[in-house]
């Protein structure tokens, strides 16, 4: 009896993520970064907080930007296009490999990455939303790297990803464990951050097309 064996998944994590984005449209890659790299990035986030660089996060963009703590009450520090530290440069270089892999597989024309550090104090959350603003479609792929060591089920703060385009019904809860990278198509997947019971840290951003 003859037959075709299933094609094994790609060995390169960037290619695996790109394959997932083609179908089902989202991907979770544990241990995307080594623990020592995660620890350095987490320490840099703590340093930015100590320096007073974090600000309350808003919703909307431009003139429509507003603070709505009933919808989200996290804090953010935006990163420049040319990150200053060696750890950030190394992470951005890895994201560049991911951008190229996604373009190779999906032909999305992704042009650059924009992102920020995100800090959720205990008790904070972000209600269900899409990552594309109304009338603005330049964000194509959402990318989240978690920086939290030893995250447990009692810590809350999971990313709840809704699998249907309606944003209702079936969902996946993803723990924000340090080193895990989550990617999904920004215009397809509603998601929320459930209330956290301990401080929750991440590097969050988007691959964009040209405006």
Number of domains in the chain: 1
Tens of pLDDT, residue by residue over 55-80, are: 999 988 776 788 999 999 999 999 98
Q: Which two tokens stand for residue 182?
A: 């989550």
Q: What is the CATH number of the domain that holds 83?
A: 2.60.120.620
Q: Which two tokens stand for residue 134?
A: 């109304």
The residues near 1 (Cβ < 8 Å, ≥ 6 apart) are: none
In a domain? residue 3? no
Mean pLDDT of 113-133: 95
Tens of pLDDT, residue by residue over 74-122, are: 999 999 876 679 999 999 999 999 999 999 999 999 999 999 999 999 9
- 0.85 exceeded by the pTM? yes
Provide the domain limits for residue 194. Answer: 13-58+68-208
Residue 187 has φ and ψ, to the nearest 5°, of -90, 0
In a domain? residue 2? no
In a domain? residue 4? no
Binning pLDDT at 50, 70 and 90, where does residue 172 land? very high
Degrees to nearest 5, angle at CA 90 with 85 and 156: 85
Q: Which two tokens stand for residue 92?
A: 């951005």
CB atoms within 10 A of CB 83: 16
The pLDDT assigned to 200 comes to: 98
The residues near 67 (Cβ < 8 Å, ≥ 6 apart) are: 56, 58
The pLDDT assigned to 80 comes to: 81
In a domain? residue 1? no
The pLDDT assigned to 1 comes to: 40
């Amino acid at each position: 009896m003859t037959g075709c064996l299933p094609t094994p998944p790609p060995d390169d994590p960037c290619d695996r993520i790109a394959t997932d984005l083609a179908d089902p449209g989202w991907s979770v890659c544990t241990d995307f970064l080594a623990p020592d790299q995660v620890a350095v990035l987490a320490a840099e986030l703590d340093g930015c907080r100590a320096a007073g660089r974090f600000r309350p996060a808003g919703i909307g963009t431009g003139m429509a930007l507003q603070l709505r703590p009933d919808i989200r009450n996290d804090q953010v520090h935006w990163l420049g296009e040319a990150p200053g530290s060696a750890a950030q440069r190394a992470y951005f270089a890895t994201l560049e490999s991911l951008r190229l892999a996604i373009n190779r597989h999906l032909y999305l024309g992704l042009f650059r990455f924009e992102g920020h550090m995100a800090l959720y104090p205990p008790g904070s959350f972000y209600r269900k939303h899409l990552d594309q603003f109304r009338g603005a479609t330049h964000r194509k792929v959402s990318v989240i790297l978690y920086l939290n060591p030893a995250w447990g089920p009692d810590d809350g703060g999971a990313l709840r990803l809704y699998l249907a385009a309606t944003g209702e019904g079936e969902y996946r809860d993803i723990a924000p464990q340090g080193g895990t990278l989550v990617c999904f198509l920004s215009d397809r997947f509603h998601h929320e951050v459930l209330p956290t019971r301990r401080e929750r840290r991440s590097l969050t951003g988007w691959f964009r097309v040209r405006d």
